[in-house]
Amino acid sequence: MALLRFGSLLLLGFLLVAQCAPQKKFRRHMVRGRPEGGFVPKPVKNEKYAGERSYMAGIFENKVDHFSLNSTAVYNQRYWYNDQWYKSGGPVFLMLGGESEEDPYWVQDGDLEWTQMAQQNGAMVFLLEHRYYGQSRPTTDMATANLVYLSSAQALEDMAMFITAMKVKFPNIAAAPWVTFGGSYSGALAAWARIKHPELVAMAVGSSGPVQAENSITRESAQCAQSVTTAFNQVAALLQTASGRQSLKSTFNLCDDLVPTDAKQIENFWQTVYGPYMEIVQYSGDNACLNTLYVEKTTEVEKLDRFYIDECTNIFGSDYNSASVASAVAHVNDYYGGRNMDSSYIILPNGNIDPWHALGKLNSSTSTILPVVIDGAAHCADMYSPSSTDPASMAAARKTIATQLQQWLQSIN
């Protein structure tokens, strides 16, 4: 009964914060396990920089296909830069964009972790938007055939061409060492940039980067996992009966009756329930009741996992199925090395309450690859400005990252 009571209260807390609203007007922060704007939340705007524009914006003409000798097609890729902290002989910091439109605030706010380090090292900072996101579109439409150019490998070649061009455009940084930064997917991308282009990228800081590709990850934290599992199972059972659905309508303050034959409505309901749970275990905030390595999936979640594969097949064709996904996962690990990466001068911060840290590199046998495991920290939490809600370990972790990066930069000058 204690577990049921815990589970009920947990789920009750998810949705009672919102007033009743028709489904068509309800906006979820998490959509099918993914935040609306990608896995790296945009920085909270600091009033200190309100109205200030210390950065410049630019368009770089990049290749659509870097792996075809016969391809001459190009596209416009957006970037932003800020040289106000640059000192002669200093390095260049490049934030690689991820799976969302980029926000130039990343190069404007001087209180973010990476801009603080830019000031410490006299660095010029750049932000490069990822292909296919925001306004950096290699193709005129998103037809399946055109998505063949959407890959991490193509994105890294975008970066290589960009760095090469910026060295020419800005002669004062022609000989400067470049350091790549990123968070979540782009955190892995930052590390991979150092692996694939060591001639251009001297160092990398990849926050919460899932460098090890896997089809599915499950970890156990018995008490919490069982409580959440029990709660979801209870909801699933209530959905099976008319009285149960009425109970859910009342408990979750729903406007409409739950109709079991309305597949879209039921799917929307489940995503609404799962969404806040996925968000609270991934991002900073009061995560006390879900302070866990990872939570074992319930039967219903596993059904949705299979649904995602089917969805890809339905949208993109029969070439996209469980077998092709498994093959792609294996290829990524083979191409970049996974946790067994063969490289140097890479810093890999991970929060230990971030579920994605299970795919990170958490230990190293070499002093030139530095994993930084941050106790009590969530996904990409180290990338932002210091906050009163930061765990006690965050300040120490940021100091470790900044000190190591500075030492490496000094060692190559």
Name residue 35's beta-bridge partners.
Answer: 30
**Segment (H or E) for 61:** strand 56-63
Please pick, among 184, 208, 227, 343, the residue that the annotation labels catalytic: 184
Active site residue 310: no
**What is d(CA 52, CA 248) in angstroms, rounded to the nearest whole number?**
48
Give the integer Cα–Cα distance in Å for 403 and 350: 17
CA pair distance 133, 98, nearest whole angstrom? 8
Give the active site residue among 354, 357, 382, 390: 354
Cα 77 from Cα 129, distance rounded (Å): 7
184 is catalytic: yes
Active-site residue (options: 109, 136, 208, 379): 379
Structure tokens at 92: 């260049």
Q: Are 372 and 349 in contact (CB under 8 A)?
A: yes
Q: Exposure of 409 by Cβ count < 10 A (0-12 exposed, 13-18 middle, 19+ buried)?
A: buried
The first and second tokens of residue 51, run together, are 């109205």
**67 three-state secondary structure:** coil
Token duo for residue 219: 């970890």
What is each CA distance from 403 to 78, 180, 357, 372, 389, in whole angstroms? 31, 16, 23, 12, 23
350 contacts 362 by C-beta, under 8 angstroms: yes
Largest CA distance in the chain: 72
379 is catalytic: yes
> CB count, 10 Å around CB of 370?
19
Which residues fall within 8 angstroms of residue 268, CB to CB, at 6 or more apart?
23
| Strand, coil or helix: 320 | coil
Q: Write out the catalytic residue numbers.
A: 184, 354, 379
